[in-house]
Amino acid sequence: MHSFSHSHQHENETNSEGILIHNAGLYDSIFGHFLNFSNGRIIELAGIKPGDTVLDVGSGPGSLTLKAKTIAGQRGKVYGVDGSKEMVALAQHKASKAGAAVDFQVALAQELPFPDNTFDVVFSRLFIHHLPGDLKLSGFKEIERVLKPGGSCLVVDFEPPKLLGVPLKKLVSNPHRMTQINVKDFVPMMKVTNYTELETGPTGRWLLSYVKGRKTKPL
Q: Which pLDDT tens digit goes with each residue over 100-152?
A: 999 999 999 999 999 999 999 999 998 998 888 789 999 999 999 999 999 99
Angle between helices 39-46 and 63-72 (to 10 degrees): 50
Q: Give the pLDDT confidence of 25-45 residue by residue, as tens digits.
A: 565 656 656 676 888 999 999
Contact between 21 and 188 (Cβ < 8 Å): no
End-to-end CA distance of the chain: 58
Angle at 3 between CA 210 and CA 15, to 5 degrees: 65
Average pLDDT of 189-198? 93
Question: For 62-76, b where at least 16 C-beta lie within 10 A, e where not — what string?
Answer: bbbbbbbbebbeeeb
pLDDT given at position 63: 93
- Give me the domains of the chain, ranges plus CATH numbers: 6-215 (3.40.50.150)
Q: Could you give the 3-state DSSP secondary structure of residue 58?
A: coil
Give the pTM.
0.81
